[in-house]
Amino acid sequence: MTFDLAPMLPLWLLATVGALIILGALYGLVRGARGMVWRALAVLVLLGWMAGPRSLHPVLRPVPQDALLIVDHSPSMQVGQRASLADQTANQITQDATHLPGLTLHRIDVPGGSGHGTRLFDAMDHADLPQGRFAGAIVVTDGMDHDVPSRLPTRFQGSNGQKLPLHLVLAAKGEETDRRLRILSTPPYAIVGQNATIRLQVDDLGTPAPATATLTVRAGDASATTRTIQTGQPQDITVPVQHPGETLVGLSVSVLPGEASTLNNNDVIRIRGVRDRLRVLLVSGVPNQSERVWRRLLKADPSVDLVHFTILRSPSTDDGTPLSDLALIPFPIRELFQEKIRSFDLIILDGFRNSNILPEEYLTNIADYVRRGGGLLVTAGPEFVQDGSLQDTTLAQVFPAHVPTDGLVTQAFRPALTDLGKAHPVTAGLGNSADWGSWYRSAKVDQSHGQNLMSGPNGSPLLLLDRVDQGRVAMLLSDQLWLWSRNEGGGGPQAELLRRLSHWLMKEPDLEENRLSARIENGQLAVDRHALGQTTITPQAMVTFPDGHTQPLPMTGGKGLWHGTVPVTGSGIWTIRQDGLVAFASPAAQDILERQDLRATATVMGATAQASGGSQNWAGIGIPHLRQVTAGQDLSGSGWIGLPVSQAAVAGETRTQDLVPAWLALVLALIFLGVGWWREGR
């Protein structure tokens, strides 16, 4: 506000008349004229009115304002009726905003569920609003936000120092409770045949005191077990790991009466069963390049204990060298092939020619070892067509092929995958065999059986796999695999082939050619049945849902691969059975942060709303209406929330107001004249 004069006569004239009046009043006062001063005051009042004193006021108009309406659509908002209540609230506030002059309400829907939880303040920070027009924000949520700042964001600090409100509208009727199951630690893998320890904790959120709960544990296809635990305290449970590969452990906890949701009352743990220090026995008949390849591969695997012997001198060797000059380790045949043979998971005979090294009873032990579940890998080179070949022993009973005496082929050839090899897990996906380097020697067989995965010269078998009772045998009919490690002709997938081959012999589940697998993706249970060499299977798989009910699943396909899908919802473990095979599946955890606390609560965001001068409202009790309020007034009340209105002066426009109205000047003048006459009458 400023002051100004709008005189009826020139100011110099008014000032001169005023000065003369004052001088006359002083003269009259000296001469004793009693009413002179009062008559002078009456004239001065009239002169002051004629000077036209007035105040100038700027013309204020409301400034256009922008406010944010943040609507939470994260996964936790799907609990109960929160989503529909949030939409009703947002629609009513939007409708109210259309009747408020100068206000533009920007609605932002925050989906969440990206693995980082709900991030409402991040959405506010990225909102594109005109500078200096922000009036506040209204957040419609369940209160579970995962990026609440430690202090009020600068956006909510107005230019004049006034705080701008953040109103919290919660999609519920009041504070809720929730019971959650938390996995504190779990081993990623465990030794087959041993127990895995899982540490967990059950929390009752929103309740004043701890209680007891019932925990149900189900590991794989085993029967479920239950135990009573105390909430709020860490608990250790053990589960057996009975087979290699993935074991699914289902955990669930009893329901807390009145809790918001049971979605976080259960979880599924994935533990991979591994063998404890796989023991491999590698026996090389003579020093050769292949043994270096095998040693490098097996020694690089920290889970493998390798025992390697190279036969440098046979018992029949007689070159006159005194025994005292020989620095060779005696071959412990009794210890390896009788006393400890069952402790090995795999035996590799690489270029091994017997030459009276192993008595027949020990060779029979190797054959029995295979029949009882062991793995045997044999590489066939020139020694297979020489005297003393392993083919002339009882060990030949478990070989998948026989090489005649004239079966050694010396010529360049490029190993190739057979049709079966292109689909078999051991060799599938090894790349284009046309790009592989050449080998120069192989063994031609006169009879074979089992699965032929690779072919050599003229299509002859090169890599044979076979099952013998409970065990497995692989036969590589060439000693030239080492050429690939030297990048001969471009090399080849030597390391991956040998790794898969050895793990197939040790019964790695993922390399089984007859297996059942399942997974859950995008709400679909997908079941795959691999059955190489079979033209038909049972046309249906049986699916057992987490709640115990079963449903047949039709399987379609052919040529060794069948497939089936069924829509599923919820969490837990699905069990699939077909032709004696069993598979398990469980959906991967989605946005663990969202499941940590499923309550509707003001405890997380309430302090921030209060710091801004905003309010907390429960939409389940009543949806608040939106108003505009002037600066300094309350920003919320019973059934309503408010946004402050900002005003600015209109350039070039002012509003004037007379400081001495005419009626006031006339009244004062008459009063002073009256007093003057009264004084003269005395």
pLDDT given for residue 304 in this prediction: 80
**Beta-bridge partners for 71:** 109, 140
Distance between CA atoms of residues 538 and 555, nearest Å: 8
With beta carbons less than 8 A apart as the criterion, state whether 471 and 372 touch: yes
How many other CB atoms are there within 10 angstroms of residue 370's CB atom?
25
Q: Assign 3-class secondary structure to 528-539.
A: EEEECCCCCCCC
Burial of 207 (0-12, 13-18, 19+ CB in 10 A): middle
Amino acid type, 344? F
Distance between CA atoms of residues 339 and 348, nearest Å: 18
Helix (H, G, I), strand (E, B) or coil at 600: coil
pLDDT given for residue 330 in this prediction: 67
* Beta strand spans in 132-224 (E): 134-141, 166-170, 178-185, 189-191, 195-205, 212-219
> DSSP of 624-653, one letter per residue?
PEEEEEETTS-SEETTEEEEEE-EEEEEEE
Predicted TM-score (pTM) of this structure: 0.71
Nearest to 470 by CA among 340, 359, 368, 618: 368
pLDDT given for residue 594 in this prediction: 82
Cα 398 versus chain centre, distance: 49
> DSSP of 611-622, one letter per residue?
HTT--EEETTT-
The conformation of residue 177, written as its DSSP 8-state character, comes to B
pLDDT given for residue 113 in this prediction: 67
Side-chain half-sphere of 178: how many Cα atoms within 13 Å?
A: 22
Mean pLDDT by 10 residues, the chain (682 residues): 74 79 75 72 77 69 83 92 94 94 91 81 88 89 92 84 90 94 90 90 91 90 87 92 86 93 90 83 77 78 80 57 56 83 90 76 91 92 84 90 90 92 90 89 92 92 94 93 85 89 88 90 90 82 89 88 90 88 84 84 93 93 92 87 74 69 78 75 62
pLDDT given for residue 329 in this prediction: 62
pLDDT given for residue 609 in this prediction: 93
Distance between CA atoms of residues 240 and 193, nearest Å: 7
Question: What six digits make up the tokens of 338?
Answer: 């009788």
pLDDT tens-place string over residues 489-546: 888 998 899 889 988 998 888 888 888 999 998 889 999 998 887 777 888 999 998 8
pLDDT given for residue 312 in this prediction: 57
Angle of helix 11-31 relative to helix 36-51, nearest 10 degrees? 170
With beta carbons less than 8 A apart as the criterion, state whether 160 and 192 touch: no
Distance between CA atoms of residues 104 and 64, nearest Å: 8
How many other CB atoms are there within 10 angstroms of residue 678's CB atom?
12
Residue whose tokens read 């009264």: 678
